[in-house]
Amino acid sequence: MAVTAGVDTPTSTASPTDRGVTLDVRDLRMRYGSTDVLTGVSFTARRGEVLALLGPNGAGKTTTIEILEGFRMRSGGEVTVLGTDPARGDERWRSRLGVVLQSWRDHSRWRVRELLAHLGSFYAPYSTDRISRPWDTEELIQVVGLTQHADKKVGQLSGGQRRRVDVAIGIVGRPEVLFLDEPTAGFDPAARREFHDLVHRLTDIDDTTILLTTHDLDEAEKLADRILILAGGRIIASGSADELSRRISADAEVRWSQGGTRFVHSTSDATGFVRELFAQHGEDIADLEVRRASLEDTYMTLVRDHESGRADGATRAFEEVGR
């Protein structure tokens, strides 16, 4: 998909569900009193796609997510989730969604297995030929890594283990669209890696669409097929981490050592430079690295440009390169 600074506008005249589009947001606007929080947000997402919504605090990420979930009414624009306007979604529509908030109400007196079986029972009437709901309790417990703690009360679990319960609650109904808000907060590195494997399973096997908000840019880069950067009430950039970094900086940084001396060179043709380097010096080259701007570098550059009033110039640059 081409990287642009704003709208992922479909050109097909077919309905969103016919195209496999699960999220379709066009010119979304939100005003609180005299304050415009969202000023024209547009993007789409397809089945099995992972989107990361990034932005500074106060950018409107939570407002956007709550509108898509049907928890907040928008001021303007068109929004459909699984072909339905969230403002008119019924219980059957809600059964197709999963939500993992930053923190759930404390279910401290429930045992893990009992809690998941109880919550899962509410999804049973919405099972279909294509998707059997809810997720089998024992399988779900194993998937989120809580097998050894299944008979413990939630109040006895560690912070990271409680977070796994939050994730299990969010996916117990086998959602077709899953909203994740800082999902791995409190996870240790091993638990975070297991969660990433779970995300890949949901998208690869169950074809789940995932919209993720996180401040962990490394996590966003690992998980997301596409990254949306929200600032000033609109999407200022959209694309994969690699696409975004190439738009911010066309040059790559090549690092190597030769004869005990370290060298660094910036080039727009890293492959050609490395080929010439080895042609000239062969086995004398060691510790070779080729680096592009990281997602963090890209994100900080875009947000800094926006906050300093240079956002329009950055937007035009994205649009010109994306043509």
Q: What is the pLDDT of residues 260-312, one digit of tens each?
A: 899 998 887 888 889 999 999 988 899 998 877 777 777 777 777 777 765 55
Instruction: Please give the average per-residue pLDDT across 188-216, as a whole number.
Output: 87
Q: Are 210 and 203 in contact (CB under 8 A)?
A: yes
CA 210: distance to chain centroid? 6
The structural domains of the chain, with segments of one domain joined by +, span 1-96+176-187+203-249+294-323, 104-175, 252-291
Against a cut of 0.85, is the pTM above it?
A: no
Q: What is the pLDDT of residues 217-233, one digit of tens each?
A: 888 888 999 999 998 88
pLDDT at 108: 84
In the block, tokens 């592009």 appear at 292
Count of beta carbons in the 10 Å neighbourhood of residue 27: 16
From first CA to last CA, the distance across the chain in angstroms is 11
For all residues of the chain together, what is the average pLDDT?
84
234-239/226-231 β-pairing: antiparallel
Answer with the residue of higher pLDDT: 247 or 194: 194
- Vertex 10 angle, CA 196 and 25, to 5°: 65
In the block, tokens 């791995």 appear at 184
Top mean pLDDT of 169-173, 185-189, 194-198 is at 169-173
In the chain, the percentage of residues whose pLDDT exceeds 90 is 45
Tokens of 166: 């939050």
Please list the alpha-helical segments (H only) found in the chain: 61-69, 91-94, 112-121, 137-143, 159-171, 189-204, 217-223, 241-248, 270-281, 295-307, 311-322
Of 263, 200, 247, 218, the closest CA to residue 4 belongs to 247
Query: From the CA atom positions of the chain, what is the Rg in Å?
Result: 22
Q: Are 39 and 76 in contact (CB under 8 A)?
A: no
Q: Which CATH class is domain 1-96+176-187+203-249+294-323?
A: alpha beta
Specify the amino acid at residue 101.
L
Assign 86 to helix, strand or coil. Answer: helix
- Vertex 86 angle, CA 44 and 15, to 5°: 50
Q: Are 75 and 238 in contact (CB under 8 A)?
A: no
pLDDT at 201: 86
Q: What is the pLDDT of residues 82-122, one digit of tens each?
A: 999 999 999 999 999 999 887 666 688 999 999 999 999 99
Tokens of 242: 């690699």
Q: Are 255 and 262 in contact (CB under 8 A)?
A: yes
84 DSSP assignment: B
Alpha-carbon span 313 to 304, nearest angstrom: 12
In the block, tokens 């875009």 appear at 302
Q: Are 47 and 24 in contact (CB under 8 A)?
A: no
Answer with the residue of higher pLDDT: 216 or 122: 122
